Amino acid sequence: MAVRLGFVGTGGIANRHLTCAQKRDDMEVVATCDVVLDLAQQAADKYVASGGAYDDVVKMLDSEEIDAIVICTPPFAHGDIEEAAAERGVHFFVEKPVAISMQMAGRVLDAVREHGIITQVGYMFRKSEPIIKAQQLLSERAVAMVQAHYYMPGLPNKGWWTKMEMGGGQLVEQATHMLDLGRFLAGDVKSVIGKISTVHDWTPPADYEEPAAGLVEYKEGFEIPDTTALILEYESGAMGTLSCSLVPQVKWDNGFKVVAEGAMVTIDGANAKWTTSEGDFEEQAASDWYDAVLVEFTDAVASGGMTTIPYEEGVKSLAISLAGYESVARGGAPVELAEIMPEGI
Ligand SMILES: NC(=O)c1ccc[n+]([C@@H]2O[C@H](COP(=O)([O-])OP(=O)(O)OC[C@H]3O[C@@H](n4cnc5c(N)ncnc54)[C@H](O)[C@@H]3O)[C@@H](O)[C@H]2O)c1
């Protein structure tokens, strides 16, 4: 029987997961929910065979027969949604980052543990086959350096992206992908040093015409750093760096260089290359690689099994970004992750 899904937050990324669900026989979209009811209705018209559109997750959960929800809300809009699902024994998939603060993440983690539901976080790069092969190669070697970057040619044009208290800046909202993948490739992080800067003048010039879609070069009310650097100390003794920037330039570029004993790994988006004494190897991800993270979740819900990126993983990865900001607040002093992690992790 198909897993019955409700969607919460039907903006940009929800369409990717809705499209995946629609083309599969083992998933059924039964309802949609967005605080902007029109958006929920548009998604329902396009993707829902029966059931309806809601502007409140509790109403949706109490009106529909739902096995699991797919949460695609911005970083600030978490907590109550996950708790409402957990209390009803409804499993959830949640887009990264899992929360805007450790306090919010800790609250949800308690609810997940108390109700024993199945969870998965949308850190989709972990499910790319070339990256899984690179991880296997690295797991047999001592990793020395994990050098990550996330460079954007501008700012996503969503109001919440420009506010620290809503999106958490690029470090929390987006570069979290790289911090999570760094953990996948090299294990947990022990401490973080962070520095931030704003290099670009984001005030729109009088003659600026905002593009109808896509990234923008200027934005009124821009309040986040546009350039961030972290130094990471891994539990294993490996060192790492993360560089990220939104400063408008010409190329979207995210990836890694990982140096390990006898191997150099390069990750470019979802693709990977590596060089060992046996030669040079290169693998490209399948065109629909990003669907695997949701498929694994619904398989686990259908079978009562496990996922590979449960909520706790999302909390650990969020903690790296927030430790980076805490280090900034302490003038660049190192912050141990153990200082900010919820109990029991
Ligand atoms: N895995 C990825 O590659 C990927 C890509 C893009 C976005 N994301 C993540 O997905 C999340 C959403 O991003 P987006 O680009 O779709 O944002 P968006 O602003 O396009 O959509 C978010 C939607 O959530 C709705 N919403 C806000 N609060 C709500 C609430 N309490 N209940 C119900 N709906 C609510 C908004 O009205 C909006 O329609 C972000 O955390 C982002 O980091 C992940």
What would the pLDDT profile of 192-213 be if each residue is shown by its tens digit?
999 999 999 999 999 999 999 9
**pLDDT per residue over 111-141, tens digit each?**
999 999 999 999 999 999 999 999 999 999 9
Extract long-range pairs of 284-292: CB within 8 Å, 24+ residues apart. 284/130, 285/128, 285/129, 285/130, 285/131, 286/129, 288/20, 289/124, 289/127, 289/128, 289/129, 290/16, 290/124, 290/127, 291/20, 292/124, 292/127, 292/128
Residue type, 159: G
What is the Cα gyration radius of the chain? 20
Mean pLDDT of all residues belonging to the chain: 97
Partners of 233 in the beta sheet?
191, 239
Q: How many CA atoms lie within 13 A of 205 on its CB side?
A: 5
State the pLDDT at residue 344. 85
Ligand 1 is surrounded, with C-beta below 6 A, by 8-14, 33-36, 39, 57, 72-75, 77, 95-96, 122, 124, 158, 173
Task: Look at ligand 1, atom 40, and give the residue with the nearest C-alpha.
Answer: 74
pLDDT higher than 80, residue 179: yes
Examine the pLDDT at 224 and tell me if it is beyond 80: yes
Residue nearest to atom 25 of ligand 1 (CA): 9
Query: Which atom of ligand 1 lies at the shortest distance from residue 176's CA?
Result: 43
pLDDT in tens, 254-300: 999 999 999 999 999 999 999 999 999 999 999 999 999 999 999 99
CATH 3.30.360.10 matches 125-286+319-339: yes
Residue 51, pLDDT above cutoff 80? no
State yes or no: cis peptide before 97, omega within 30 of 0: yes
CATH topology assigned to domain 3-123+291-309 = Rossmann fold (3.40.50)
Please state the domain extents for the chain: 3-123+291-309, 125-286+319-339
Which residues have C-beta within 8 Å of that of residue 133, sequence separation ≥ 6? Answer: 272, 283
Q: Whose CA is nearest to atom 38 of ligand 1?
A: 11
Ligand 1 pocket: which of 73, 101, 161, 297 to mutate (most atoms <8 Å of CB)? 73
Point out the ligand 1 atom lying closest to the alpha carbon of residue 122: 1
Report yes or no: 180 and 318 within 8 Å, Cβ to Cβ.
no
Global confidence as pTM: 0.98
